[in-house]
């Protein structure tokens, strides 16, 4: 793994009711023993978190 001279922040969010594939617009179903299915709050929250992180990184460059 490459070394970094700066800290890399990590944030964990637990979305209640979210399953594997929460961003795919599929109904909740079982697949090989896993519950898979869409969760709007988790999908939208994840997108917003990524956009926020990218905007922060862009601000830090300037």
d(CA 10, CA 49): 12
Please list the alpha-helical segments (H only) found in the chain.
40-61
Domain ranges of the chain: 14-62
Distances, alpha carbon 13 to alpha carbons 6, 10, 17, 32, 46, in Å: 23, 10, 12, 25, 9
Whether pLDDT at 1 is above 70 = no
H helix or E strand, kind and range, residue 36: strand 34-36
pLDDT score of 4: 76
Where residue 3 falls among pLDDT bands split at 50, 70, 90? confident
Tokens of 55: 């905007």
pLDDT at 5: 80
Check pLDDT > 70 for residue 36: yes
Q: What is the mean pLDDT of residues 43-51?
A: 94
Summarize pLDDT for 16-29 with one digit per residue, the tens: 989 999 999 999 99
């Amino acid at each position: 793994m490459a070394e970094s001279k700066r800290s890399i922040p990590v944030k964990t969010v637990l979305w209640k009711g979210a399953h594997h594939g929460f961003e795919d617009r599929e109904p909740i179903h079982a697949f090989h023993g896993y519950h898979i299915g869409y969760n709007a709050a988790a999908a939208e929250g994840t997108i917003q978190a990524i956009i926020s992180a990218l905007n922060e990184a862009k601000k830090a460059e300037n």
